[in-house]
Amino acid sequence: MSVDSATVRKIASLARIAVSDAEAEALAPELSKILGLVEQLSEVDTTGIAPLAAVVPNHLRLRDDVVTDGDIRDKILKNAPQAEHGFFAVPKVIE
Amino acid sequence: MSNYRIQGATGEWEVVIGLEVHAQITSNAKLFSGASTRFGNEPNANVSLVDAAMPGMLPVLNRECVRQAVRTGMAIDAQINKWSRFDRKNYFYADLPQGYQISQLYHPIVGEGSLLIDADEKAGIPEPKTIGVERIHIEQDAGKLMHDQHPTRSYVDLNRCGVALMEIVSRPDMSSPAEAGAYIRKLRSILRYVGSCDGNMEEGSMRADVNVSVRRAGEELGTRTETKNVNSVRFVMQAIEYEAGRQVDVLEAGGKIVQETRLFDPDKAVTRSMRSKEDAHDYRYFPDPDLLPLELEDSFLVDCRASLPELPDAKRARYRDALGISAYAADVITADVETARWFETLLAAGAEAKAGANWLTSELFGALNRLGRTISDCPVSPVQAAQLLALVADGTLSGSLAKQVFEIMLESGEDPAKIVDERGMKQTSDTGAIEAVIAGILAANADKVEQYKGGKEALFGFFVGQTMKAMAGKANPKVVNDLLKKALEA
Selected residue with higher pLDDT from B279 and B213: B213
* Tens digits of residue pLDDT in B299-349: 999 999 999 999 999 999 999 999 999 999 999 999 999 999 999 999 999
Residues B114 and B38 in one domain: yes
Residue B279 confidence (pLDDT): 54
Residue B337 confidence (pLDDT): 96
pLDDT above 70 for A95: no
Q: Which of B102-111, B118-127, B206-215, B416-425 has the lowest mean pLDDT?
A: B416-425
Residues B146 and B122 in one domain: yes
Nearest chain B Cα to A62, which residue?
B61
Residue B217 confidence (pLDDT): 87
pLDDT above 90 for B475: no
pLDDT above 70 for B14: yes
Residue B164 confidence (pLDDT): 98
The number of beta carbons lying within 10 Å of the beta carbon of residue B159 is 26
Residues B380 and B279 in one domain: no
Which residue of B62, B66, B153 is in closest CB contact with A91?
B153
Mutate to test the interface with B, among A13, A38, A63, A94 (most CBs of B within 10 A): A63
Residue B308 included in any domain = no
**How buried is B42 (Cβ within 10 angstroms: 0-12 exposed, 13-18 middle, 19+ buried)?**
exposed
Residue A1 confidence (pLDDT): 66
Q: Which of A48-52, B80-84, B225-229, B354-358 has the lowest mean pLDDT?
A: A48-52
Residue B1 confidence (pLDDT): 56
Residue B305 included in any domain = no
Residue B468 confidence (pLDDT): 85
Selected residue with higher pLDDT from B405 and B424: B405
Among residues B242, B267, B300, which one ends one of the domains? B300
Residues B132 and B196 in one domain: yes
Average pLDDT over residues B430-455: 86
Task: Name the range with the highest mean pLDDT among B266-280, B296-310, B435-449.
Answer: B296-310
Q: Are A8 and A27 in contact (CB under 8 A)?
A: yes
pLDDT, chain B, mean = 93
Residue B64 included in any domain = yes
Residue B313 included in any domain = no
Q: Are B433 and B358 in contact (CB under 8 A)?
A: no
pLDDT above 70 for B275: no
Which residue of B61, B92, B157 is in closest CB contact with A16?
B92
Q: What is the three-class DSSP state of A9? A: helix
pLDDT above 90 for B490: no
**Local confidence band at B5 (pLDDT 50, 70, 90 cut-offs):** very high
Strand partners, B145: B156
Residue B476 confidence (pLDDT): 81
Nearest chain B Cα to A51, which residue?
B293
Residues B103 and B235 in one domain: yes
**Whether A78 contacts chain B with CB within 8 A:** no
Residue B472 included in any domain = yes
Residue B306 included in any domain = no
Strands (E), A8-67: 62-63
Q: What is the tally of structural domains in chain B?
A: 3
**Local confidence band at B43 (pLDDT 50, 70, 90 cut-offs):** very high
Residue B312 confidence (pLDDT): 97
Average pLDDT over residues B461-474: 85
pLDDT above 90 for B292: yes
Residues B244 and B175 in one domain: yes
> Which pairing describes strands B100-103 and B87-90: parallel, antiparallel, or unpaired?
antiparallel
Among residues B384, B399, B423, which one ends one of the domains? B423
Q: What is the DSSP string of B144-203?
A: EEE-SSSSSEEEEE-TTTT-EEEEEEE-S-B-SHHHHHHHHHHHHHHHHHHTS----TTT
**Whether B48 contacts chain A with CB within 8 A:** yes
Q: Which domain holds residue B465?
A: 431-489
Residues B295 and B275 in one domain: yes
Residues B157 and B80 in one domain: yes
* Tens digits of residue pLDDT in B123-163: 999 999 999 999 999 999 999 999 998 999 999 999 999 99
Residue B278 confidence (pLDDT): 52
Residue B311 included in any domain = no
Residues B250 and B384 in one domain: no
Question: Exposed e or buried b for every residue in B398-415, given b needs 16+ CB within 10 A?
Answer: beebbebbbebbbeeeeb
Question: How close does chain A come to B302, measured CA to CA in Å?
Answer: 18
Q: What percent of chain B shows pLDDT beyond 70?
A: 98
**Local confidence band at B458 (pLDDT 50, 70, 90 cut-offs):** confident
Among residues B376, B396, B423, which one ends one of the domains? B423
Cα–Cα distance, A11 to B401 (Å, whole number):
77
Residues B65 and B126 in one domain: yes
Residues B266 and B296 in one domain: yes
**Whether A6 contacts chain B with CB within 8 A:** no
Average pLDDT over residues B219-234: 94
Residues B278 and B138 in one domain: yes
Average pLDDT over residues B480-486: 87
Residue B28 included in any domain = yes
Which residue of A14, A69, A70 is in closest CB contact with B284?
A14
**DSSP, res B293:** P
Sorted by where each begins, the domain ranges of chain A are: 5-41
Residue B433 confidence (pLDDT): 82
